[in-house]
Amino acid sequence: MAFRFFEESAHVAAYLQYRVTPHELINKIIDFMGPKLQNKFNLAVDVGCGNGKGTVLLAPYFNQVVGTDVSPAQLGLARANSIRQNVSYRQSPAEQLPFESSQVDLVTATTAAHWFDRPRFLKEAERVLKPNGCLALLGNMMDRALEYGDATSAVNNICQEVIFILTFTPWYISHGTNISCGPLLFHVCILISKLLAAMQVSSPDTELTMVIKYFYMLARKP
C-alpha cells in the first residue's frame, strides 16, 4: 500500500505553493507516446496527483485526464483549483486503480512513485494500460542549488555548511532519543543570518531561485 503523508492542511497548502512541476517534461512524454488519434489521446491517469499541478498539464493532449491520490485533503485542493473540463479526480491507492483493464493510454506519477508499493503499482499499471500504452515516472534529484546573482556561490556554501552541522552534531545522531527545539532553531537562525549577509539584504522574505534536477523513466506496454 502507498505511504500516506502530506495530508495535514499545512502540508497541503505548502505543496500547492512550493511544489515544482516540470512543464518541459510533458513534451518528452507526449513525443514518446507517438502519433495521436484525431489529434488527442483518449485517457491519461496521473497517480499520486496531490494538488493536481502536474495533472492539468496533460489536459491539452487527452480527451480525459484523471488524477488519483489516497489523500482526501490533496484531492479537495486539486478539485477546488481545477479549471479544465476534461480533468477529474478520484481517491484511490496507487496499487488499486479504479479503471478497467487495457483502458488507459498513459499512466504517470510525478515525484510520487517512491511512496508506492512499487511491484504492486507496476503490475497495476500494466493491467490498466492499453497495448502500446505508456508509463512515465518523473522525479527530482536530491542535489539542489540556489541562485542569487553574484552571491550564488556563497549562498550554496552556507547551506552546505549548515547541513553538515545538522547532520554531524552529536545530539542529532543519538539513535532515536528526543531532542529539544533549541538546537534546531539555533542553527536555523545561523543559516538565515549568514544568508542575508551574503546576499546583502535585510528581509528574510527575499526570494532566491532554486534549481532542481529532474529525471524521467518512460516505458511502453507491448
Q: What is the DSSP string of 121-185?
A: HHHHHHHHEEEEEEEEEEEE-S--EEE-GGGHHHHHHHHHHHHHHHHHSGGG-STT----HHHHH
Q: What confidence category does residue 187 fall into, taking pLDDT thresholds of 50, 70 and 90?
A: low
Please give the grid coordinates belonging to residue 212: 532542481
Superfamily of domain 9-140: Vaccinia Virus protein VP39 (3.40.50.150)
- Residue 31's Cα: distance from chain center in Å? 22
Q: What pLDDT was estimated at residue 46?
A: 97
Residue 89 reports pLDDT greater than 90: yes
Which amino acid, one-letter code, is at 131? P
The pLDDT tens digits of the residues spanning 133-175 come to 999 999 876 666 778 899 899 888 887 776 655 554 444 443 4
Q: What pLDDT score does 9 carry? A: 53
CA distances from residue 189 to 18, 92, 167, 204 in whole angstroms, order as listed? 22, 41, 16, 11
CA–CA dist 108, 186 (Å, integer): 41
Across the chain, what does the average pLDDT equal?
81
Reply yes or no on whether the pLDDT at 217 is more than 90.
yes
**Cα separation of 202 and 124, whole Å?**
52
According to the model, what pLDDT value does residue 111 have?
A: 85
Distance between CA atoms of residues 74 and 50, nearest Å? 5
Residue type, 165: I
d(CA 96, CA 123): 10
- Please, which residues have CB within 8 angstroms of residue 170's CB and are 6 or more apart in sequence? none
pLDDT at 190 over 80: no
Confidence of residue 30 (pLDDT cuts 50, 70, 90): very high
Cα(209)–Cα(145) distance, integer angstroms = 8
Q: Mean pLDDT over residues 60-84, rounded?
A: 92
Whole-number pLDDT of residue 147: 85
Per-residue pLDDT, 85: 93
**What is the DSSP secondary structure assignment for residue 37, as one 8-state letter?**
B
Domain limits of the chain? 9-140, 145-210
* Alpha carbon distance 166, 141 (integer Å): 20
